[in-house]
Amino acid sequence: MRQHGSLSAISKGSIAALFVLSLSLAACGSGGSSSGGVIKIATDLPVSGTDASVGLPTQYGADLAVSQNQDLGGGYTLQIVHKNDEGTTGADASIGATNIKALLADPQVMAVVGPFNSGVAVAEIPVANNGGLVLMSPSNTNPGLTKEQYASANGINFAQLHPAGTKEYYFRIVATDDVQGKVDAEIAAAAPINAHTAFVVDDSTTYGAGLANFFKQNFTANGGTVVGSHSITPQEVASMNSLAATIASANPDVVFYGGVTSQGGGALKKALVAAGYTKALVGGDGIADDASWITTAGAAAAGNTYGTVAAPDPASLTSADAAAFKSAYTAFVANKPDNNLVPYSAAAYAAAMIEIDAIKAVIKSGQAPTRAAVRDYIAGNSFSTIIGNIHFDANGDNAGDKVFSIYAIAPGASTWTYDKEVTA
């Protein structure tokens, strides 16, 4: 916003005009008349440090959607606000919660794309539900966020996230880790890994620990044996040598890692190879198809790694709308940092388009574009997106199309390669 002159230089008429404008803008959030103005959607993602390699491409997906829909109709224009929840050691839940509080204080903000990490979602969901602001995650996969039967085992206070008597303002468009853990266990047990024993490591986050537990449950249910497990502390990320030596001594058929790159994923693989362990490592969407994971692990150690992402690979998106998205995305991100097209780029684009469609529908109906009206439209309608048909159940989970993409870095290779897609 442009700075005005000193108060003494502003006329009484200007002050009155500014006061009327402030009331008009406040009406966007509280339910005033539909009279035009600025409406915003926001992103809350980890877009710096190691996590930028996935966080920025995710943000770009939402940015593209906003750039294509700046005219909302009814005299309203659309803008985007960016929030970064990255801390010193990765995505930070307290930063995320502070970000949502700040967005709640801006009455022009109608909805948020994010958060990226399940651990951040734990802190943000109660703030959003109590304040009445839509969060739509393109990537949160911990089932305890929305399914009460899984909450306690994942360290989640479900009643705190979903206060009695409040509407659900949290939605997500991806499948959950109770399914992802099963897919990862199947990858470990099948060719070319053919694992009968596994050592399971997690990064102590809500996401990582939860995914590791679901892997254990499914791997052992299918006859496999877990020969050891370990939860990485933040202090251990700088040196994985001791853990790597322990795993190498146990000599499992496979190592499973539940967690993200920035909190130990790449460092673990690098240390394992240095310790002489060159068998397969399997992980979830915290590392799969992440260029920073390869950078951290090192090209020489990256091979023989497999992983899943809870979103369709861009190569599998073949509709006319998806093709148009991919072309527009490529042009939009040219010369931007970390400008790869990743699965969550498309997922974030889909999430932003759902929010934008809801805002447009509310405006077209003649209602004031309030947060509550936007939420109700999202909860009550089905949406055709570039990643499939999406509608939400009472918990905020996608009850429509959900898939996992499987990726691999072949033995001796140093590049993630898309393998195939499985339906959740």
Q: How does pLDDT run across 183-214, given as a tens digit for each residue?
A: 999 999 999 999 999 999 999 999 999 999 99
* Domains of the chain, each with CATH number or no CATH: 33-175+318-392 (3.40.50.2300), 177-309+405-423 (3.40.50.2300)
Q: How do residues 374-385 score in pLDDT, each as one tens digit?
A: 999 999 999 999
Quote the pLDDT of residue 3: 33
Percent of the chain past pLDDT 70, that is, above it, reads 92
Query: What would the two tokens of residue 29 be?
Result: 């959030």
Quote the pLDDT of residue 367: 87
Asked whether residue 19 carries a pLDDT value surpassing 60, the answer given is no
**Using omega within 30 degrees of 0 as the cis cutoff, is the peptide bond preceding 138 cis?**
no
Residue 345 to residue 351: CA distance in whole angstroms: 10
Q: Which residues pair with 112 in a beta bridge?
A: 42, 135
Quote the pLDDT of residue 237: 87
Quote the pLDDT of residue 32: 35
Quote the pLDDT of residue 199: 98
Quote the pLDDT of residue 35: 66
| Largest separation between any pair of C-alpha atoms in the chain | 79
Buried b vs exposed e over 171-186: b needs ≥16 C-beta within 10 Å?
Answer: bbbbbbbbbbbbbbbe
Of the candidates 128, 113, 132, which has an alpha carbon nearest to the alpha carbon of residue 45?
113
Q: Phi then psi for 326, rounded to 5 degrees? A: -65, -40
- Mean pLDDT over the full length of the chain: 91
